Amino acid sequence: MPTYRDEVVVLRTHKLGEADRILTLLSRRHGKVRAVAKGVRRTSSRFGARLEPFMVADVQLYRGRNLDVVQQASSIGAYGAEIAAHYDRYTAAHAMVEAADRLNEAEATAQQYLLLVGGLRALARGEHASRSVLDSYLLRVMALSGWAPALGECARCSAAGPQEWFVAQLGGTVCGSCAPTGAARLHPETSSLLRALMAGEWDLVDAATDGATAAASGLIAAYAQWHLERGIRSLSHMEQHR
């Protein structure tokens, strides 16, 4: 069918000409979509504000040869303004959509779409610390993409855990026999926090100490960037303003 509807998250936008915009979208049923929204930069545009980064919308698109064309858009989740008003939320959201963009070169799943929507909603509402929302998202989206880190048993020899070391290159926690020289030592509280972030146990996440939160964030960032093969630029901004 030349025309189709789907729910989408706007990952990023680029100006095109004087009034148009190219959108990169993560959709619920059609994976990652690149589309052009014509005239959205004009003040008279009917749906320009609905197609900004971090917004969730129901859109109708026309299949084009190179880019699809947005014909209609109605708002489902207007998260952009609340996220942009807080620097920590804004940088966390940027890191999330950057990771989503990298991970979904192939067709994405509905679970990946829903995970991103849930993360952006939590950021907009300020339900939890922005960095914790980002960390939980990164762990879960990596798992959905087939790169679930070992957080209990040894990633190399499968020895029962919990383990005391974490090595991103080896796939997560490792035992003392498998840990290479220079491996990061894993404090028990940090180990428990990593598992809570993966499981979405927010009572435990919110109660974690600053030290455990910072340690877990560093390990998650290293793990995600190792598998994505290049850095998530927005993570460096979060580190500078922690």
pLDDT score recorded for residue 45: 72
* CB contact at 8 A, 21 and 13: yes
pLDDT score recorded for residue 178: 94
How much is the pTM? Answer: 0.91
pLDDT score recorded for residue 239: 60
pLDDT score recorded for residue 44: 67
Nearest to 20 by CA among 58, 67, 63, 62: 67
What distance in Å separates the CA atoms of residue 79 and residue 100, rounded to the nearest whole number? 17
Which residues of the chain are modeled with pLDDT < 70?
A: 1, 44, 104-108, 229-231, 236-242
pLDDT score recorded for residue 242: 55
pLDDT score recorded for residue 175: 93
pLDDT score recorded for residue 18: 85
Residue entry with tokens 């290293």: 222
Nearest to 53 by CA among 90, 16, 85, 28: 90
State the number of CA atoms in the 13 A half-sphere of 209 facing the CB: 9
pLDDT score recorded for residue 232: 76
